[in-house]
Structure 1
Amino acid sequence: MNNRTIIAAAALAASGVASAQSSVTVFGVVDAGVSHYQTTSKFDSKGVPQTVARPDLKQSQLALSNSGNASTRIGFRGQEDLGGGLAAGFWLEASLWNDVGVVGRSPLFFDRRSTLSLVSRWGELRLGRDYNPTFWNDAIFDPFGVVGVGTSLIAQTLGSTLPTLALNRGNYARKSNSVGYFLPASLGGFYGQAMYAFSENIDSAAILNDPSASNNARTGDYVGARVGYANGPLDVALAYGHSTIADNYVFGSTTKVKTTNLGTSYDFGVVKLYGEYSMVDVRTDFANQAAFPFTAALTPPLDVDTHNFLVGLSVPVGPGVIKASYSRVKGEFYSFTASGHTPLLSDDPQADKLAVGYVHNLSRRTALYATAAWMKNKNGAGVPVANVSSTDVQPGYTNTANSSAAGYRADRGTGYDLGIRHAF
């Protein structure tokens, strides 16, 4: 069954049950633009002796892109009033690449959100694939909403030599197989969310005690929560989550990604200010350190800590808004051995990014936009100016070819988005 058939079937199904629902809505966003990215790498004389002058290496890409201002998507949602203050609802939402006509991400179709809910005066219980608590602060307290070339580095270091967020990527924004709970909206400005996602891996004594078996019974689970307060111009929220990304029952090791972030915004009317501090850590713990086989053939696992921040603003100007942000990510690398944790680098890799943009609203649903970004890598960080995975909303752009050339390191990058966005 192709994507067109699936969409048609979903639309027919939605219309067919409309009589049983209080409301059924088809919604979405189509965002198209032209984007350009460029990365410059410099020769590092510390890594390879420089016998002749080595020119800078540049790599660039010009693309018809999407989601420069808002994530392109299509979705179906509905809700039925069950009486007594109780309601049931569903939400099915898929990513859409209008530049190439692709919907969803293989093997997922409704990859953005796929949930069934029960809502009451006590809050909402939500089952399925959904946004996790630790993602929200990155999205809400970024003036660019973690889309386009303006996306903060906190959400954009996939595929770089700061691998913490890359390891977290499968759990970064959304989790499948999750059970979530949301506080009701009647708490005087206080809000909150909690989530648990099942790993759904097989757990058996035969697997746990067989060194040749895939010992990943814990891998894939997620636990997280977020609490906040929004009243008038102020919004502030704290979130924490951890996900198991690797484990080995035989030797008692568990590798987890742990995220803690605090975000806030304050709207003065003439300007809205944003700020976020984020810590994303990868750590391997051992239940039985003495039994773990540290050998020359086995590279000790890395522990990576990143300390990240963002400051930003948005300024309403007539029918439009000016946006700007500055973000930084900095990584600390450790090696775990029998003697403990040992720092691996004398200088911590770091990347800095500045983004500026303007959105001109032609109507409530349609807008023109322009965004430009500049970034700088230090101490071996290899962060590109835009997301690099073909499964992300950005084109598949990467600076790997430059930074991996013998003796070269990624140095700086620039990029821009020019486009139009329509919501329906």
Structure 2
Amino acid sequence: MLRTPLIAGLIAAGSLAHAQSTVTIYGIADTGVERLTNVNAAGGSLTRMPNLTGTVPSRLGFRGTEDLGGGLQAFLNLETGIALDTGSLNNGGRLFGRASNVGLAGPFGRITLGRQINMTVLAVSSHVMGPSLYSFASHDPYIPNAISDNAIGYLKSFSGLTMGATYSLGRDVSSAGGPPGTNCPGESGTDSKACRQWTVLAKYDSANWGAAVSHDVMRGGPGAAFGMTSSAHTDKRTVLSGWGKLGPAKISGGVLHRERDNAAPLESNLVYLGASYPLTPALTLDAEYSRMDVKASPNDATMLVARGVYSLSKRTAVYAMVGRIKNKGASATSVSAGGAVGAGMGQTGLMMGVRHTF
């Protein structure tokens, strides 16, 4: 009960000392309970509380800005990813794993230094399903984890057009494992190319439609995960995406082309298409089709997802989602982000949850 007045008092004191500075505390708490089938080769089922995301990942963040005059502004962003099921940290165990950066903004655009989302995230940001537990990102877990360490970012918007780029000197210092912790710190005195990454974006948005294209190139380094153990290895992703309004409905989709050049080379196309329709002012229905096509391989997967979100207020909503994935060959893609499924097996997932923003 004493914490809120204390924080408010500290912020107020800071505002007295620096009248043009502001600090915003924000967050999202989103979790529920899900049921998954075929979580192993024996066909077992699992009931769990997911720790990665619900409709969106849970987080606690701080944004600060200061007006420096002449159209120049300083800013910072610190954002923590939280696993609500246990209270632990997501994003590779980092304290501020979703964002940890500082920068300057002005008529020239926005320059950001530190850990930050890269242009792959912005290229898919208009998709109706977002980073949901069941979404096209289940096929490629890098998509919701396209956040780069040691990065220099630039973004400029004008007349509906957004141009941006990032360059990372060492894309991932965490060795926690999985997509958010790939053990590629870079910044090497013996190999200047190790773990470097660059991304670029061109994006246009109007009132009724939008389109985006991005390109993402990451290099490997000694000991890096997923076979990316040399700076000669590259993993490239190109996204073409778009969205449009059809009456009250929103339709969005795209294709992500990937080429990985290492000891286990991979080429694939991920196609996704989604729609969102406000059935009432409080109830929204969403649906998505996605397919992963791995070239020269039978290891493909197709997924269908449906979701209903009911807003109890501007800040609180309840939701239910159902997903079904069909794996072929040795594909073992779970319908649920961070989940497991028997190789070549289908899987059905059902989740019900609550989301609150502040």
TM-score range, shorter chain: 0.7 to 0.9
**Aligned equivalent of 2:178:** none
Picking from 386, 402, 415, the partner of 2:336 is: 386
Instruction: Render the CA deviation track for 1:164-207: whole Å, top value 9, x for unaligned.
Output: x46x58x94100100000003xx211112110000243233xxx
**Aligned equivalent of 1:296:** none
- The answer as to whether partners of 2:275 and 2:288 remain within 8 angstroms in 1 is yes
* Residue aligned with 1:65, SS: coil
- The answer as to whether partners of 1:218 and 1:247 remain within 8 angstroms in 2 is no
1:376 matched to 2:338? The reply is no
Rounded to whole Å, the distance in 2 between the matches of 1:102 and 1:12 is: 28
**Aligned equivalent of 1:156:** 138
**Aligned equivalent of 1:336:** none
* Residue aligned with 2:123, SS: helix
**Aligned equivalent of 2:155:** 182
**Aligned equivalent of 2:206:** 231
Rounded to whole Å, the distance in 2 between the matches of 1:376 and 1:351 is: 6
- The answer as to whether partners of 1:40 and 1:410 remain within 8 angstroms in 2 is no
Instruction: Rate the CA distance shift 1:61–1:16 in 2: closer, same or farther, 3 A.
Output: farther
* Residue aligned with 2:292, SS: strand
Give 1:28's aligned amino acid: G
Picking from 337, 352, 356, the partner of 1:418 is: 352
Rounded to whole Å, the distance in 2 between the matches of 1:219 and 1:81 is: 38
**Aligned equivalent of 2:314:** 364
Instruction: Rate the CA distance shift 1:98–1:189 in 2: closer, same or farther, 3 A.
Output: same
Q: Percent identity?
A: 26
1:278 matched to 2:256? The reply is yes
* Aligned-pair CA distance for 1:82: 0.6
* Aligned-pair CA distance for 1:17: 3.6
Instruction: Render the CA deviation track for 1:288-317: whole Å, top value 9, x for unaligned.
Output: xxxxxxxxxxxxx12100111001100011
Q: Displaced runs of 4+ in structure 1, greater than 4 A?
A: 9-16, 104-107
* Aligned-pair CA distance for 1:12: 8.9
* Aligned-pair CA distance for 1:130: 0.6
Instruction: Rate the CA distance shift 1:96–1:12 in 2: closer, same or farther, 3 A.
Output: farther
Rounded to whole Å, the distance in 1 between the matches of 2:9 and 2:268 is: 47
Q: Which has the higher contact order (CA 8 A, sep 6+)?
A: 1
Rounded to whole Å, the distance in 2 between the matches of 1:239 and 1:311 is: 18
**Aligned equivalent of 2:173:** none
Which deviates more from structure 2 when the two are superposed, residues 80-89 or residues 275-284?
275-284
Cα RMSD (Å): 2.6
Which has the higher Rg, Structure 1 or Structure 2?
1
Rounded to whole Å, the distance in 2 between the matches of 1:277 and 1:267 is: 19
Gaps of 5+ in 2: 1-5, 171-185, 224-229
**Aligned equivalent of 2:268:** 306
Instruction: Rate the CA distance shift 1:327–1:86 in 2: closer, same or farther, 3 A.
Output: same
Picking from 194, 211, 216, the partner of 1:219 is: 194
Gaps of 5+ in 1: 1-8, 43-56, 158-164, 205-215, 285-300, 333-344, 389-396, 404-408
**Aligned equivalent of 2:64:** 78
Which runs of structure 2 are paired with 1:23-422 in the superposition (5 Å)? 23-39=22-38, 57-65=42-50, 67-105=53-91, 107-141=93-127, 143-148=128-133, 150-152=134-136, 155-157=137-139, 165=140, 172-184=145-157, 187-199=158-170, 200-204=186-190, 217-246=192-221, 254-284=232-262, 301-318=263-280, 319-332=282-295, 347-388=297-338, 397-399=339-341, 403=342, 409-422=343-356
Q: TM-score, normalised by structure 2?
A: 0.85
Instruction: Rate the CA distance shift 1:11–1:39 in 2: closer, same or farther, 3 A.
Output: farther
Which deviates more from structure 2 when the two are superposed, residues 23-32 or residues 64-73?
64-73
